[in-house]
Amino acid sequence: MTETKNVKLLKTRCPRCGTLTNWQGNPDRPFCSPRCRQIDLGHWADETYRIPAGNAPQEDEEDADRKDEE
């Protein structure tokens, strides 16, 4: 007998336009197309999207003096 498997293909929404797209076999995932992928990359390049940074560690005066001596 041949077994029939019910395989559910994973679909996800494109983060850019919201189109429902296949996850497997999609070279542009999680995006639906190269266009959406490039638009998103452009937002990162233009700094529209940013990752919040915490406060940078402050240098001690002694550390700064040591660097000046070297």
Dihedral sign computed on CA atoms, order 65, 66, 69, 70: negative
Per-residue pLDDT of the chain (70 residues; tens, 9 = 90+): 566 676 677 899 999 999 999 999 999 999 999 999 999 999 999 989 888 887 767 766 666 666 666 5
- What CA–CA distance (Å, rounded) separates 3 from 55? 59
pLDDT for residue 3: 64
Q: What is the pLDDT of residues 32-52, one digit of tens each?
A: 999 999 999 999 999 898 888
- What CA–CA distance (Å, rounded) separates 18 from 57? 39
Domain residue limits, the chain: 10-49
Residue 37 tokens, joined: 């992928």
Domain topology for 10-49? Erythroid Transcription Factor GATA-1; Chain A (3.30.50)
